[in-house]
Copies of this chain bind each other. A is one copy, B any other.
Amino acid sequence: MIENLIQYFQNYVQLTEEEIDYIKQSIPVKEVPKNEVILRQGDVSKEFFFTIKGCVRLYYIVNGEEKTAFFYCENEFVSSYESFTKQLPAKHSFECIENSDLAVINFETAYKLLEKFPKFEFLARTMMEQELIVCQEIIANLITLSPEQRYLKLRDQQPDLLQRIPQYHLATFLGVRPESLSRIRKRLIK
C-alpha cells in the first residue's frame, strides 16, 4: 500500500533504503469509510494525505450549501496547504466519497522528514508545483468556461469521474445546482 507513495516519490528522486524504511515506519496507511470527513472547515490541519485508493472531495460550505472545488483520486496529495503550513483554521473541508486508503503524513513527520533528509525539501517543492498547476487549471476552467463547457471538458478528459461521482457532487463542482446539470445534460442530448 505505502509502496504507491514510495513509487510516487521515486518518480522524482532516488530514495535510499534508510529513507524508504523511515517512510514505512513513520507514515501509516488508514482505511477511511465513504462519507467520512477527514478535515473539517474551521479546524486546523494536523496532517495531509496521499490517496492510495478511493476518492476525496474538497468542498466549501457556504450558507449551509456545499460547493465542491476538486476531486482527488488515486496517487494524489490531499492537503490544505495554508492550514497545514501556517496552522490556521482550514477554509474548506475534505471528505472521502468512496471507501479509501490514505497515507497519513502528520505535522511532526513532515517536518522531521524535511529536517532529516534534505531531498524532501525538493520533493515538497515538486509536490507544491504540481498542486499549483492543478489550482491554476481550476482557475482557468472557472474563468474561461461556462458550466456547459466545463461539463463537456470533464466528459472528454475524465470520463471515469462521470461514472464514479454522483451527479449532485459533479454539479457543484461545475458551479451549478443539480437541477441545472440535469438540464445541461438534456440540452446536450439533442
Contact = CB atoms under 8 A, between A and B. Distances in A.
A131 B129 CA distance: 10
Interface residues of A, number: 28
Copies in the complex: 2
Determine the main DSSP class of A at the interface with B: helix
A144 B60 CA distance: 7
Interface string A63-81: 0000101000000000001
A20 interface: no
Contact of A121 (B81, B122, B135): B122
Interface of A: 60, 62, 67, 69, 81-82, 85, 91-92, 118, 121-122, 124-125, 128-129, 131-133, 135-136, 138-140, 142-144, 175
